Structure 1
Amino acid sequence: MIKELSIGFAAAAAIIMIQQGFNVVPWFFMAGLILVLYYMVGFKGLNKSFSAVDGSKGSIEKINFDRIGGHDSAKKELLEALEFVKNSKLIMKMGIRPLKGILLMGPPGTGKTLLAKAAAGYTDSVFLSASGSEFIEVYAGVGAQRVRQIFNQAKEMTKKQNKNSAIIFIDEIEILGGKRGSHGGHLEYDQTLNQLLVEMDGISCNDQTKILVIAATNRSELLDSALVRPGRFDRMVNVDLPDLEGREQILKLHTRNKPMSKDVNLKAVAQDTFGFSGAHLESLTNEAAILAMRDKKKFISQRYFLEAVDKVMMGEKMDRKPDIDELWRIAVHETGHALMSETIRPGSVSSITTTSRGKALGYMRQTPDRDFHLYTKEYLEGQINILLAGSLAEEEILGSRSTGASADFQQAIGIAKELISSGMSTLGVVSLSDIPGTILHDVISSILEKEESKVKEVISCSSNLIKEVADYLLNQEKISGEAFRKMLFSCGEKLKISS
């Protein structure tokens, strides 16, 4: 009604001014400029409504801590912090200051957002969600206004739903809470962060509405020290990549609604997925179901899970098909990797294939016997051996190397640098950045030459096995780790590395 009256009044005023002989062109220009500012940035940009989950409709209850696997320590720490919100009367009797913020830190896809939503359901709180980028604009004052709005919106929704607590979740908070003065003179970032600091300082246990700020980041080193100090973000919860047991839990959660074949071994799948996040594992189970549906199967068998592992790691199969000579070289190359892997850690090869996926023309996949958190000198040297073995197998069987080993060499150089930086080279304990380039080059070369001589010894003694396995790959495209080991033992090859 007000909008229509305003438009009618403006039109009538314009007609009267034209009749009186006034030049209305500047007025129309100013009115158009105001409209552009209103719709593009201005007042409409300031009045932002942040996304919320309405707990009264039962949306939050669908996500609870029982549905989040692989993060027992993170859940335990978060649940302890949430007790301060849930039992506010008890903490007031004990004289405990309520926690104002919880920072979830970890790689992408590990379930930080799910933990925040589960926290809202556990405490029966209003849940507001925003990304750090939603607060930042090039126009002065917009970001600070949006910070005030999200806190005000949380209070209003809490009263509307007759609740006494609200959780504000800010994803990618490093965009909003980056170190002040690091944005090239752009003060809007600093003003927005200052407003967030003020709002968090204003949270009190005496407030009618209890507000808890939960933030997530995978770049915690970028955050301003004033934001992460006690009294603002009081708890730092690490949400790391799941271990073997955690991956198995997550796989069980994501396969509950899927028809599984009796041969499915989720523990074996978990062993094959070292380094996978929760998001990767969810995608894996989904891809396995899609592959089974393509073959018009009623149940998802183990082979679909194993193929889904390859797809998530490497990508979809490519249409390109190398010619017979290139396929033979690829088969020899990948067999060299597998031979060296079995030499160093028997039973480690999961599969070998010449199928092109993503940028890889072929690949050898390993299954670690356990999750590694620390690496010894022997382990790292073994990884260099495996990486060099593909190229050296080409040289032994085909008489030359190819560009297919360039990525292997780069990884080998990276591991050599890790040996140096960890004090496990002839240089002793040094700073990698302080070593002159020529000395660093010489030490890396000596490490690689030493490991190359070990690999050549194994490859030269196993040329018949490499040819046999490569010939099998040329016809079948893929061989499992078990079948490869049977061929290895039937040939009676002596696989030993001289120290």
Structure 2
Amino acid sequence: MLLEAGIGAGLALFLFLAMLGYNIVPFVLILGISALFYFMVVQKGMLNLQSRNRYVGVKISFDDIGGQNTAKRELIEALNFIVSGDRLQSLGIRPLKGILLTGPPGTGKTLLAKAAAAYTDAVFLSAAGSEFVEMYAGVGAQRVRDLFKQAKELAKKEKKTRAVIFIDEIEVLGVKRGSHSSHLEYDQTLNQLLVEMDGLKTSSDVKVLVIAATNRVDMLDPALLRPGRFDRQVKVDLPDKEGRLQILKIHTRNKPLDQEVDLESIAQETFGFSGAHLESLANEAAIYALRDNETTIKSHHFKEAVDKVMLGEKLDRRPTTAELERIAIHEAGHAIISETVRPGSVVHLTVTPRGQALGYMRQKPEGDSYLYTKSYLLKQIKIAVAGALAEEMILGERSTGAAGDFQEAVKLARQIVVTGLSELGIVDAEKDDQAINTKIKEILYGQVEEVKRILTAQLPLLYQVAADLKMQEKISGERLRELIATYSRCA
């Protein structure tokens, strides 16, 4: 009504000025531009909000999520405060307004939010932090207001008393204020979110819970993290071995597995994989089975799938004969040293180009280790430099293919020094830079000399492994260990 009255009054004013002989063309142009801006930016932005916010009919439960037992337990405990609303009021307990899920990408934060909505019998409305930030001032704040309004309206429409708003990538929306000095729209949008969360009342007809996800909690404004806004932070970490096994079982329950497939062994070999990686692994294994026209998924399909997820698809590019020989020698060097310092560690080695790698040796992790000893790090340095040293011993010089290996070796040596595991003891990484670099070189040179000694003693084995690898393109860990045993008996 006010808009219509304003338009009518404006037209009357323009007609009156025209009758008095004023030139109203400039005023008409200004009005037209203003109207165009309003309808194209503000109204279009509000309409886009309705299409961007995704209302999802939740069908997932916590039982459908594997590998996050600790996160699920923390989240369920927090959600019980919401489910037991009447009891909370009798004790004067304020229910939670927000739960923040933090952790690496692909660990299941969105799935946990959906399961939380199902657990609390709430409608689930999702949005991404990037969807609220626009170049036009005020649009993001309006979208935040409409998001909370839409959540309440959807809950009433579904005849529910609870609503869950899930904001993914909240670090975009909730970045520390002042970080974008030339773009105050970010700060206005965050301020509006803070106001909306402050305004959530326990006595409301629809109780709204905000669940947000981020892998950069360090970027968030402190005002978001204080009690009364995001009251709980739930860490969603990469799964351990038992968690990976649970996830693999979930993602293979609709797939025909061959009897030889050992999911526990696959779980052990996939240290560092997220839930998303494991889902992709199961899917890729099924695709390889389809390519082979198999009725069941076999162990070698999973082995191929692990390489695919880690490194990418096989490449059509073929190395030259000389390059293939060098790659085979390089990977043979890695494999022999790996088996020397950690017997039984090699899963397989290949010279088939995949992703950015021309060749690759895959190791079996010792276990889900989060702390490393000096002896373990020194062994890993030996394995890293072995490829280039094998090239140098047989072909007379190294190649640029070892650049990544050397970077890894330097990283491991630095880790030894800065964590106080070297003879220097505790060091200051900023003040003792010269001493640290000197010690890193000393550690690296010491491991290089030791690797040269080991490879020199096993030179016939190195030639044989490289020759077999060049001919067959792939050698399993079992075959490698057979060759090592044969040459050990002959020595």
1:103 and 2:100 are equivalent in the alignment: yes
User: Is 1:410 the equivalent of 2:420?
Assistant: no
Q: Matched residues in 2 for 1:271 and 1:494: separation? A: 34
Which residue is 2:451 aligned to? 455
Contact 1:462 1:493 (C-alpha < 8 Å) held by counterparts: no
Residues in 2 aligned to 1:91 and 1:229: alpha-carbon distance in whole angstroms: 21
Q: Which residue number corresponds to residue 44 of structure 2?
A: 44
Residue identity opposite 1:200 in structure 2: M
Paired residues of 1:53 and 1:60 also in contact (CA < 8 A): no
User: For residue 4 of structure 1, what is the aligned residue in structure 2?
Assistant: none
Q: 1:429 aligns with which of 401, 426, 432?
A: 426
SS in 1 for 2:430: helix
> What is residue 361 of structure 1 aligned with on the other side?
358
Matched, 1:53 2:62: no
CA distance in 2 between partners of 1:73 and 1:33 (Å): 56
Counterparts of residues 370-409 of structure 1 (less than 5 Å): 370-409=367-406
Give the aligned partner of residue 327 of structure 2.
330
1:256 Cα offset (Å):
1.3
How far 1:179 moved relative to its partner? Answer: 1.2
Question: Which stretches in structure 1 are left out of the alignment for 5+ residues?
Answer: 1-6
SS in structure 2 of the partner of residue 346 of structure 1: coil
Aligned to 2:4: none
Per the alignment, in what secondary structure is the counterpart of residue 98 of structure 1?
coil
- 2:153 is matched by which residue type in structure 1? E
Counterpart for residue 234 of structure 1: 231
Give me the TM-score of the superposition, normalised by structure 2. Answer: 0.93
Cα root mean square deviation, aligned: 2.8
Mapped to 2, the partners of 1:196 and 1:245 lie a distance apart of: 38
Query: C-alpha offsets along residues 428-447 of structure 1, whole Å, 9 cap, x if unaligned?
Result: 212323333x4333221111
Runs of 4+ in 1 over 3 A off after TM superposition: 17-32
Partner SS for 2:347: strand
> Quick one: which of 476, 480, 488 aligns to 1:484?
480
What residue in structure 1 maps to residue 155 of structure 2?
158
* d(CA) in 2 for partners of 1:283, 1:40: 41
- Give the equivalent residue in structure 1 for 2:144: 147
5+ long unaligned stretches in structure 2: 1-6
Percentage identity across paired residues of the two chains: 57
Equivalent position of 1:444 in the other structure: 440
Q: Which amino acid aligns with 1:53?
A: Y
What does residue 33 of structure 1 align with? 33
**Mapping of 1:191-206 within 5 angstroms?**
191-206=188-203
Query: In structure 1, which of residues 216, 221, 237 is the aligned counterpart of residue 213 of structure 2?
Result: 216
C-alpha deviation, 1:91, in angstroms: 1.5
3-state SS of paired residue (1:355): coil
1:190 paired with 2:187, answer: yes
Shift of 1:51: 2.5
Report the Cα offset of residue 119 of structure 1: 0.7
The separation in 2 between residues aligned to 1:227 and 1:414, in whole angstroms, is 36
CA distance in 1, matches of 2:42, 2:161: 33
CA change 1:64–1:494 in 2 (3 A) is farther
Question: Given residue 480 of structure 1, which amino acid in structure 2 is its aligned partner?
Answer: S
Measure the CA separation in 2 of the matches of 1:317 and 1:470.
20
Give the Cα separation in 2 of the matches to 1:26 and 1:109: 56
Query: What is the aligned counterpart of 1:276 among 273, 276, 293?
Result: 273
- What is the 5 A alignment of 1:5-84? 26=26, 29-30=29-30, 33-34=33-34, 36-47=36-47, 48-49=49-50, 50-54=52-56, 59-61=57-59, 63-84=60-81
CA 1:352–1:26: 2 relative to 1, 3 Å: same
Q: Describe the shift of the 1:240–1:494 C-alpha distance in structure 2 as closer, same or farther (beyond 3 A).
A: farther
Correspondences of 1:337-352 after superposition (within 5 Å): 337-352=334-349
> TM-score, normalised to structure 1's length?
0.91
Matched position secondary structure for 1:432: coil
User: Which residue does 1:3 correspond to in 2?
Assistant: none
Q: Give the superposition deviation at 1:112.
A: 0.2
Shift of 1:46: 3.8
- CA-to-aligned-CA distance 1:83-129 (integer Å, 9 cap, x gap): 11212112212222101111100000111001001111111101111
**Count of residues paired in the alignment:** 486
